[in-house]
Amino acid sequence: MTTAALLLLQSAAAIAGAGLWLAAGFTTGSSTTRADRRERLIVTALAAGGTLLLVVAAVGAFILAGRGWWFAGEKVVAGLPFQVAGFAAGAVGVSWWLRGIRMPLARTLVLGGGYAMAAAAVATWLVGYPPQPVATLLLGVAVLLGTGLTWALLTHRGRRALAGFAGLLAVLLAGGVGWSWLSDTAAPRIEASTAHGHDGPATDAATATASSTSSTSVSDLRTPAEAPGDVHRFELTAARHDVELASGDTVEAWGFGGDTVVGPELRVTEGELVEVDLANRDIDDGVTLHWHGYDVPNGEDGVAGVTQDAVLPGERFTSRFVADTPGTYWYHTHQAASEGVRRGLYGMLVVEPAAGIAESLDLALPVHRIGGEVVVGATDGPQSFEAAEGDTVRLRVANTEQAPMRVTVVGAPFRVAAVDGRELSAGDEVEHRSVRLGAGARADLVFTVPDDGVRFETDFSAASVVVVAPPASEGPDLAREVSDVPELDLLAYGAGNGDDGSVDAALADLGPFTAEGELVLDRMPRFVGGAPTYAYTVNGQVFPHIDPIGVREGDVVKLTVVNRGFDVHPMHVHGHHVLVLARDGVPATGAPLWLDTVDVRPGEVWELALVADNPGIWMDHCHDLSHAAAGMMMTLAYEGVTTPFEHDAHGNRPE
């Protein structure tokens, strides 16, 4: 059974078990004499069924613990004691009640036991992982007060006792909400206090660097004025504009220029010095330019409230970086991104290798959704490109959407030549396979054009297809297949078996781990920006209060990302790429896979390696931007780096 299914089953059993015990409690009736046979049967059956389900829940918790303590921590340390205590109370209560003795107390015990079991079930959401002692304590006290209130009711204690218990319960509830609200008003946790992920000293070189840096501001981590390279300058103006789609619909878009949804493609050559002047005409929320997947110096990273202030209407900002890493990237606003990106503040960034591109046609196609249509490149309709039979084509695909996307090429075998801006060594050609791209991810698909041409498909839309074919041909006359063919597993793709070019060799090159970080992804009720929210959490907290992953320059960081929830989380690391080591304990065997966006599905555990070679304060967040806006953002922070920018000041809202 998959871990996600187990999580679901375990919770369902815990909830249903508590429900049956509560039902037993309510069925015990109000008579003070021994119940009739039918009632006794019903109560016994409910209690027995509830107990059985609790056993299932307990077994489930232990199996989950075997899959990883992250999945079961609170179920074992908080849930299980509640369930055991609840069962003990309930069993005593039922046996007294069946015999008709100590009636009000018997009924109180059955109901109180049910409350404890219910507390165990909700511990998954309120206590979470790592298990939160305060929440556990509050739940325990709530169970006791609820039981007290029940007892006062059943024994007709009078108004004062009732009001006492009810009042205390209300105070407890208010206290719990207040405690959660207070954590939302606490100071942001953006900078590293100490490198808390450390289990030992960093390497000598790193220690030397770390101790010699007293404190650096992100504003000083810019591309130096004298950086080498011919300047390649672009101007982007962020503005509202109406766009007429091929479907005939007009959408109110926000864009970086031009009359299409997508911003201009920025295509530069390795070795150039890129300068991008950003002006904001009338985007009231403000904008920034973030270079997704391009590992720029921190001060060029474009995160409002962390590396710069939002660029408000009438303001400007110039980003500069050296184009030293060929590959496929994209840019987008990182101010109010969950709305801005969706509305069109994005575009492609392609860095061509100095030696040129081997393929004869090179297309960069972001895939986006707006106004109910799927826009591939610049259009939501079908489109075609001409290429001669035998020509090779590089199709750079970016998922600029919020959900995972599957893509494929129909009509010819293709090779995944690069993922997230990093070439994959010697991947075989495949056919009738799809490639899954998490939100924010990119893949370069390379193929040779056959006489009938090929069709590029996404599972987002059957209408927005792209045909690449020789001038006379109509494109391949083949059935659509993207949703029907198996997914290519990139962890097992490409040459990786030799001593060189394997993941182990790549890892050995990095040296031993000197720091670690754990990201446990979940959903919990939390205050986010002052509002109660069913939030997306990392380690039980929400942005900007999640403890950063603290590192020192030179660290080799082991990152473990665990998805305890039921949503997919495309986790994006700024300023670095991570080497995929394993997923769900299964080591990656293909060509070393360096990603900036890791699509973590429910129940998955990813082990990653990151080299801390780019000092700064870097966002790590879910690229389903609605999740980011609901809390799922944190930082990877280098010791000694500080930021003068503030979340909420100057309108800064990176999410």
Please identify which residue in 342, 569, 572, 583 interacts with Cu ion, judged by CB under 5 A. Answer: 569
Name the minimum Å distance from CB 630 to Cu ion.
Answer: 9
Q: Is position 332 an interface residue for ligand C2O (rule: CB under 6 A)?
A: yes
**Token digits of residue 562:** 């665990």
**CA 7 vs CA 81, 223, 553: distances in Å:** 19, 47, 38
Name the minimum Å distance from CB 596 to ligand C2O.
Answer: 8
> Which of these segments, 245-253, 472-480, 496-504, 623-631, binds Cu ion (CB under 5 A)?
623-631
* DSSP category for residue 77: I
For residues 229 and 404, which CB has a smaller minimum distance to ligand C2O in the complex? 404
Per-residue contact flags (x/-) with ligand C2O for residues 294 to 313, judged by CB under 6 A: --------------------
Please identify which residue in 113, 286, 440, 570 interacts with ligand C2O, judged by CB under 6 A. Answer: 440
- Give the span between the Cα atoms of 417 and 558, in whole angstroms: 26
Q: Is position 619 an interface residue for ligand C2O (rule: CB under 6 A)?
A: yes
Q: Is position 406 an interface residue for Cu ion (rule: CB under 5 A)?
A: no
Name the minimum Å distance from CB 408 to ligand C2O.
Answer: 24
Q: Is position 545 an interface residue for ligand C2O (rule: CB under 6 A)?
A: no
> Which of these segments, 102-110, 244-252, 378-386, 615-623, binds ligand C2O (CB under 6 A)?
615-623
The string of DSSP codes covering 289-316 is -EEET----GGGS--BTTTB--B-TT-E
> Which of these segments, 199-207, 262-270, 310-318, 617-625, binds ligand C2O (CB under 6 A)?
617-625
Binding partner of 290, given Cu ion, ligand C2O, none, CB within 5-8 angstroms per partner class: ligand C2O
Name the minimum Å distance from CB 337 to Cu ion.
Answer: 13
Name the minimum Å distance from CB 632 to Cu ion.
Answer: 5
End-to-end CA distance of the chain: 35
User: Phi and psi for 603 in degrees, rounded to 5?
Assistant: 80, -5
Binding partner of 197, given Cu ion, ligand C2O, none, CB within 5-8 angstroms per partner class: none
For residues 123 and 622, which CB has a smaller minimum distance to Cu ion in the complex? 622
Radius of gyration for the chain, computed over Cα atoms and rounded to the nearest angstrom: 29
Binding partner of 154, given Cu ion, ligand C2O, none, CB within 5-8 angstroms per partner class: none
**β-pairing, 556-563 with 515-528?**
parallel
411 within 8 A of 450, measured Cβ to Cβ: yes
Please identify which residue in 396, 574, 601, 650 interacts with ligand C2O, judged by CB under 6 A. Answer: 574
- Give the span between the Cα atoms of 446 and 427, in whole angstroms: 11
SS3 at position 79: helix
Q: Is position 342 an interface residue for ligand C2O (rule: CB under 6 A)?
A: no
Type of residue numbered 504:
D
Binding partner of 544, given ligand C2O, Cu ion, none, CB within 5-8 angstroms per partner class: none
SS3 at position 646: coil
- Give the span between the Cα atoms of 289 and 319, in whole angstroms: 8
Q: Is position 572 an interface residue for Cu ion (rule: CB under 5 A)?
A: no
Q: Is position 523 an interface residue for ligand C2O (rule: CB under 6 A)?
A: no
Please identify which residue in 40, 394, 545, 572 interacts with ligand C2O, judged by CB under 6 A. Answer: 572
149 within 8 A of 557, measured Cβ to Cβ: no
Please identify which residue in 591, 622, 637, 641 interacts with Cu ion, judged by CB under 5 A. Answer: 622
**CA 228 vs CA 322, 324, 398, 428, 575: distances in Å:** 8, 10, 29, 37, 20
Q: Is 648 left (phi over 0), alpha (psi -120 to 50) or beta?
A: left
**Token digits of residue 328:** 């496929």
- Give the span between the Cα atoms of 85 and 97, in whole angstroms: 18
Q: Is position 222 an interface residue for ligand C2O (rule: CB under 6 A)?
A: no
For residues 627 and 650, which CB has a smaller minimum distance to Cu ion in the complex? 627
- Give the span between the Cα atoms of 82 and 62, in whole angstroms: 16
**Token digits of residue 406:** 């599957």
276 within 8 A of 319, measured Cβ to Cβ: yes
Task: Describe the strand order of the beta sheet including 346-352 as a list of residue ranges.
Answer: 266-269, 346-352, 327-332, 290-292
Name the minimum Å distance from CB 292 to ligand C2O.
Answer: 4
Q: Is position 627 an interface residue for Cu ion (rule: CB under 5 A)?
A: yes
> By rule CB under 6 A, what count of residues binds ligand C2O?
10
CA angle 333, 604, 526 (to 5 degrees): 60
Q: Is position 577 an interface residue for ligand C2O (rule: CB under 6 A)?
A: no
Per-residue contact flags (x/-) with ligand C2O for residues 386 to 425, judged by CB under 6 A: ----------------------------------------
- Give the span between the Cα atoms of 71 and 560, in whole angstroms: 13
Name the residue among 50, 57, 67 with its Cα closest to residue 4: 67
For residues 40 and 290, which CB has a smaller minimum distance to Cu ion in the complex? 290
Q: Is position 290 an interface residue for ligand C2O (rule: CB under 6 A)?
A: yes
- Give the span between the Cα atoms of 411 and 479, in whole angstroms: 10
For residues 17 and 654, which CB has a smaller minimum distance to Cu ion in the complex? 654
For residues 176 and 440, which CB has a smaller minimum distance to ligand C2O in the complex? 440
For residues 293 and 326, which CB has a smaller minimum distance to Cu ion in the complex? 293
Q: Which residues bind Cu ion (CB under 5 A)?
A: 569, 622, 624, 627
Q: Which residues bind ligand C2O (CB under 6 A)?
A: 290, 292, 332, 334, 440, 572, 574, 619, 621, 623
